[in-house]
């Protein structure tokens, strides 16, 4: 009787683990606006990057470039993890700031 009860518990636990893992694997890639300023999204969290096609990633980047351009800023992408990227708008640096930031490096 005890063996049967223990087996049932193990079976139920295994079922929940498999179900949970299955849900994680079937999640669709998504783009979430992480920060809004002046009713414009200026920071995006992109989840499921590993499952996105190159055209989907390009579309997200193009959208970021356009929205940031409208604000007079540049789009910056940052890899948070293998499957998550963040996009955000950053101000263009002035010539002096760029020189300080890239000091010691060859300017193109």
- The predicted-structure confidence for 25-82, as pLDDT tens digits, reads as follows 445 677 787 777 777 777 778 888 888 888 888 888 888 888 788 778 888 888 888 7
pLDDT at 84 over 70: yes
- The predicted-structure confidence for 16-36, as pLDDT tens digits, reads as follows 444 444 444 445 677 787 777
Going from N- to C-terminal start, the domains of the chain cover 28-96
Q: Map the chain to HEC letters.
A: CHHHHHHHHHHHHHHHHHHHHHHHHCCCCEEEEEEEECCEEEEEEEECHHHCCHHHHHHHHHHHHHHHHHCCEEEEEEEEECCEEEEEEEECCCHHHHHHHCCCCCCC
């Amino acid at each position: 009787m005890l063996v049967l009860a223990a087996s049932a518990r193990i079976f139920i636990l295994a079922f929940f683990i498999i179900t949970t893992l299955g849900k994680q694997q079937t999640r669709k890639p998504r783009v979430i606006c992480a920060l809004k300023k002046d009713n414009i999204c200026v920071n995006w969290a992109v989840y499921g990057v590993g499952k996105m096609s190159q055209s989907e990633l390009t579309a997200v980047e193009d959208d970021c470039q356009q929205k940031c351009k409208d604000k007079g800023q540049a789009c910056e992408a940052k890899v948070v993890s293998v499957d998550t990227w963040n996009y955000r708008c950053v101000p263009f640096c002035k010539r002096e700031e760029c020189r300080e930031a890239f000091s010691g490096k060859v300017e193109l």
